[in-house]
């Protein structure tokens, strides 16, 4: 089988080095049946990432962008390099069997690539799959979710931890299906299970699936593009699965943390776009409840931020950035 790995990187040179080393180490474990090639799309990093790839990994196809294209456009650039056009079409003779979108802040553990590829080989009706993710300390990161509803929006935005006596209940809610999570026992097992979508941090798609549904939607700069892709696959009768036997370490959010409130705005811009586009999943009554819920959550958090500023725990500059981000998000659903 042919597996093409696409890694989009932004100012995380050392993590990118470790990611690529882990990919090739994992690939060597299955080189008798899995042919792996790697493309790195560097989003105008200023830390020498592109130069490091060119020097230390000359067998990697490097695309050094002169601008930050964002996660979605950069991945599509890599997909076009493989021959997919805007509609996802490509000659079946040259189409890779599998494509793995992989964040640079990840490390593939042992035979993780083979585990994912073998699942796809044995389940031809699957459109995409993802591994079990772990944080750097070994704890579980939920790597797949149900499509978000109002309950998840509420848990994301309402500062319920501020209410007395809610910590135990809140912890249970955060790890429940109300918050889009799948059961921990499913993740800690070995049997694959069907999910709504997997995180784009490590998402394997069948080449044929991409030919059917097309490239990632470039209306998403970053965030929610994997939700959109998996939903489009589901609508084309191609399910998405979690494969917990495959393990990948995820040093989460190292790129997005560099621009925290800009990332927050992009997250909510993408969520609002996703909600608007998929009307069958999110009818008009959903939006009638979404708007006041978002405004309530952001207003509440803004009040807490102002209180922190008054106590001297938050600088005026950071308060201003936070409140500006909240104001922009409140305008996204108009």
Predicted local distance difference test score (pLDDT) of residue 89: 56
Q: Is 100 exposed, middle or buried (0-12, 13-18, 19+ CB in 10 A)?
A: buried
Asked if the model's pLDDT at residue 305 lies above 90, the reply is: yes
What are the pLDDT digits (tens) for 191-238? Answer: 999 999 999 999 999 999 999 999 999 999 889 999 999 999 999 999
Tokens of 303: 């009040």
Predicted local distance difference test score (pLDDT) of residue 5: 98
Q: Averaged over 272-284, what is the pLDDT?
A: 95
What are the pLDDT digits (tens) for 139-188? Answer: 999 999 999 999 999 999 988 877 776 778 888 888 899 999 999 999 99
Domains defined for the chain, CATH in brackets: 2-146+182-251 (3.90.550.10), 259-330 (no CATH)
Q: Averaged over 42-62, what is the pLDDT?
A: 96
% of the chain residues with pLDDT over 90: 85
Distance in angstroms (rounded) separating the CA atoms of residues 121 and 326: 45
Distance in angstroms (rounded) separating the CA atoms of residues 296 and 130: 34
Predicted local distance difference test score (pLDDT) of residue 222: 85
Distance in angstroms (rounded) separating the CA atoms of residues 227 and 244: 19
Asked if the model's pLDDT at residue 15 lies above 60, the reply is: yes
Tokens of 143: 């790597």
pTM: 0.91
- Give the mean pLDDT of the chain: 92
Q: How many residues does the chain have?
A: 334
What are the pLDDT digits (tens) for 107-135? Answer: 999 999 999 999 999 999 999 999 999 99
Q: Lowest-confidence range among 48-62, 258-272, 282-296?
A: 258-272
- How many CB atoms lie under 10 A from the CB of residue 11? 19
Distance in angstroms (rounded) separating the CA atoms of residues 269 and 134: 27
Q: What is the DSSP letter of 147?
A: P
Check if the beta carbon of residue 293 is closer than 8 Å to that of residue 301: no
Tokens of 224: 């929610």
Q: Averaged over 34-51, what is the pLDDT?
A: 97
Tokens of 134: 């772990």
**Contacts of 3 by beta carbon, 8 Å cutoff, 6+ apart:** 27, 34, 35, 36, 37, 96, 97, 98, 99, 100, 113, 117
Q: What is the DSSP letter of 163?
A: S
**Residue 283 pLDDT grade (very low, low, confident, very high; cuts 50, 70, 90):** very high
- The dihedrals phi and psi of 320, each to the nearest 5 degrees, come to -60, -45
**Residue 249 pLDDT grade (very low, low, confident, very high; cuts 50, 70, 90):** very high
What are the pLDDT digits (tens) for 75-87? Answer: 999 999 998 876 6
């Amino acid at each position: 089988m042919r597996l093409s790995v696409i890694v989009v990187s932004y100012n995380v040179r050392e993590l990118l080095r470790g990611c690529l080393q882990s990919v090739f180490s994992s690939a060597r474990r299955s080189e008798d049946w899995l042919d792996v090639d790697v493309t790195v799309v560097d989003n105008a990093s200023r830390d020498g990432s592109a130069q490091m790839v060119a020097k230390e990994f000359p067998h990697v196809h490097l695309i050094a962008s002169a601008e930050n294209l964002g996660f979605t456009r950069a991945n599509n650039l890599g997909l076009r390099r493989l021959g997919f056009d805007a509609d996802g079409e490509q000659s079946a003779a040259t189409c890779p069997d599998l494509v793995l979108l992989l964040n640079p802040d990840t490390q593939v553990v042992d035979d993780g690539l083979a585990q994912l590829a073998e699942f796809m080989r044995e389940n031809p009706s699957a459109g995409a799959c993802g591994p079990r993710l772990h944080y750097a300390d070994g704890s579980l990161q939920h790597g797949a979710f149900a499509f978000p509803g109002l309950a998840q929006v509420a848990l994301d935005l309402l500062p319920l931890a501020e209410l007395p006596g809610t910590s135990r209940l809140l912890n249970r809610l955060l790890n429940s299906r109300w918050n889009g999570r799948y059961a921990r026992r499913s993740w800690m097992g070995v049997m694959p299970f069907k999910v709504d979508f997997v995180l784009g941090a490590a998402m394997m798609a069948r080449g044929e699936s991409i030919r059917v549904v097309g490239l990632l939607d470039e209306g998403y700069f970053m965030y929610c593009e994997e939700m959109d892709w998996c939903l489009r696959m589901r609508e084309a009768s191609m399910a998405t699965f979690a494969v917990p036997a495959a393990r990948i370490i995820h040093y989460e959010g190292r790129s997005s943390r560099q621009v925290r409130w800009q990332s927050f705005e992009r997250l909510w811009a993408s969520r609002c776009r996703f909600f608007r586009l998929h009307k069958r999943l999110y009818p008009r009554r959903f939006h009638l409840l979404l708007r006041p819920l978002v405004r309530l959550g952001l207003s509440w958090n803004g009040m807490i931020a102002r209180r922190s500023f008054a106590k001297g725990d938050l600088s005026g500059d950071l308060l201003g950035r936070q409140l500006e981000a909240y104001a922009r998000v409140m305008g996204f659903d108009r």
